[in-house]
Structure 1
Amino acid sequence: MEQILVAKPPENSEPTPPAAKGMRADARRNREKLLEVAAAVFSERGIEGSLEDIARRAGVGIGTLYRHFPTREHLVEVVYRREVESLCAAAGELSLNHAPDVALEEWMQRFVGYIAAKRGMANSLRMLVNTNSELFAESSGMVSVALRNLVEAAAGQDLIRRDIDSTDLLHALFTIYSIPDAPDWHERSRRLVKLLMDGLRWGAGAKHAP
């Protein structure tokens, strides 16, 4: 399975990124909007998505984009960090607001969005592995922990099977990454998540062999 690269989720709220500290409020808003739009563009069009288009859709000039993100690779890195931080934080948020099995399913659906962004940034991420391995060394493992906590909470209440290994489930989720690009990619991926949840819920509460 491809290495899972994530950052530790915030405990209460999303921390202010170091690059954003000391910025004026309008500059922070511009930066966050650029990251939001860039994630969408990379998901839709891949890493070759136009930086000029990102700036235009964010409502700023290209000079503003370059002041925040001097290179495309820098933008990709920050977008990726933001995506994985949001994914990790979602596990705790969903657990507070939903039954454990529903929280697990909703998180798995969000994982599809994470994969979509990762697919779009694949080429640049491969380059970053070679030039900035520290980024990945510092941010590995937390997606696995988030998923394990969700699985254990649902299994503990007999809402899903108790013989499920979260590592195996993560492998299954990552197979979505290999689905060929097509206009219905997102819809097909969401259907696969529903199939996985059907399997997780089947026989819940029954005794299974270890």
Structure 2
Amino acid sequence: MTDTTKQGTPRVPPKRADAHRNQLTLLDAAAALFVTSGVEVPVREIAAKAGVGVGTVYRHFPTRAELIIAVYRHQVEACAEAGPALLASHTSPYTAFGDWIQLFMDFLTTKHGLAAAMQSDAAGFQILHSYLIDRLLPVCTTLLDAAVESGEIRPDIDAYELMRGVGNLCIGAESDPRYNARRVVALLIAGLRQL
């Protein structure tokens, strides 16, 4: 007999704690491998890094597209949550902002792979892009405002333009061994300093 709500719809049981932990571990493992090896990394490598069986990966994410989208959302949330945590744990808002930009760059590597993987679903990718802007633009703005208020960076920086600029500097970095996007972005962030 199926458990139902008052409206007669089946009630979905909550995920067990261990299943939720497995899913988060899988998302973290996949995100790390997407950064180093691209979104086409074999599922068996993701499972091995997460310390689970391949079947567990497919139980949580039946298709690669579902896994990639889940990693994308997971990384956006991690990046959004990291902003306030970095600001609280650093004495310098500028340093907190620089550390956050590094996390944002890790995310962008996955995002660019996702864009390539979702070429046939432009509408779906646009929804995810809007989700990114809605979640991360306020975080970037807060970090920039704190660094401006502390006198560490110049006051004329727009968070959206900066995020777009960092994103553009990351394009193609994974396919050109002579191009170090982290170094170039570090130069950009250094250029924000108040003289």
Q: In which range does the TM-score fall when normalised by the shorter chain?
A: 0.7 to 0.9
Structural RMSD (CA): 2.3
* Contact residue 47 and residue 53 of structure 2 kept, 8 A: yes
TM-score normalised according to structure 2 size: 0.80
1:201 lines up with 2:193 in the alignment:
yes
* Contact residue 161 and residue 202 of structure 1 kept, 8 A: yes
1:103-142 map, 5 Å: 103-131=96-124, 134-137=127-130, 140-142=133-135
Return structure 1 stretches of 4+ with deviation > 4 angstroms: 131-139
Task: State the shift of 1:139 in Å.
Answer: 5.2
**Once structures 1 and 2 are overlaid, which stretch shifts more, 125-134 or 105-114?**
125-134
Task: State the shift of 1:127 in Å.
Answer: 4.0
Residue 150 of structure 2, aligned match among 157, 178, 181: 157
> In structure 1, what is the Cα distance between the partners aligned to 2:130 and 2:154?
33
* Contact residue 169 and residue 185 of structure 2 kept, 8 A: no
Residue 36 of structure 2, aligned match among 34, 44, 52: 44
> In structure 1, what is the Cα distance between the partners aligned to 2:153 and 2:131?
32
1:37-116 map, 5 Å: 37-98=29-90, 99-116=92-109
What percent identity do the matched residue pairs reach? 36
* Contact residue 46 and residue 119 of structure 1 kept, 8 A: no
Which residue of the partner structure matches residue 207 of structure 1?
Answer: none
Aligned residue-pair number? 181
The answer to which structure, 1 or 2, has the higher relative contact order (CA under 8 A, 6+ apart) is 1
Structure 1 stretches of 5 or more lacking a match? 1-20, 204-210
Task: State the shift of 1:123 in Å.
Answer: 2.1
Distance 1:127 1:140, change over 3 A: farther
Deviations 1:47-94 (A, max 9, x none): 221112212322222221111111111111111000011111111111
